[in-house]
Amino acid sequence: MTRARISVSRPAGDALKVLGNQIKLGRMARGWTMLDTAARLGVDHRTLRAVEAGSPRVSIGTVFNTAFLVGVNLFGLSGPELARARRAGEDILALLPQQVREYDQGDADGEDDF
């Protein structure tokens, strides 16, 4: 089964390329070949090549696993800091409504009828 081509915005594409470059730099700083790194991840070397190229077709889980493996701090946070940020976000989300409903614009005259 072939995946559909994903269209990304310019900023999203730039972010993917930046992350791919950081991943490649991290791999090279460790002296790991593409084959070594792919084996450590349990993926094919072509998948790793796509990660490093910033392809939007690679699963985000694979990209994040690769980043962590080669030492790229996602969101500028280390492991424990990232866990704290995750918990803080979950705490905030727990306080918000579970669903978002569309706002009823009411009458076109802008006055509420009671």
pTM: 0.76
Average pLDDT for the chain:
89
Whole-number Å distance between alpha carbons of 73 and 51 = 16
Are 48 and 34 a contacting pair, CB within 8 Å?
yes
More reliable by pLDDT, 22 or 110:
22
How far is it, in rounded angstroms, from Cα 107 to Cα 114?
12
pLDDT digits (tens, 9 = 90+) for 10-65: 999 999 999 999 999 999 999 999 999 999 999 999 999 999 999 999 999 999 99
Say which amino acid occupies 42.
Answer: G
| Level-2 CATH architecture, domain 10-73 | Orthogonal Bundle (1.10)
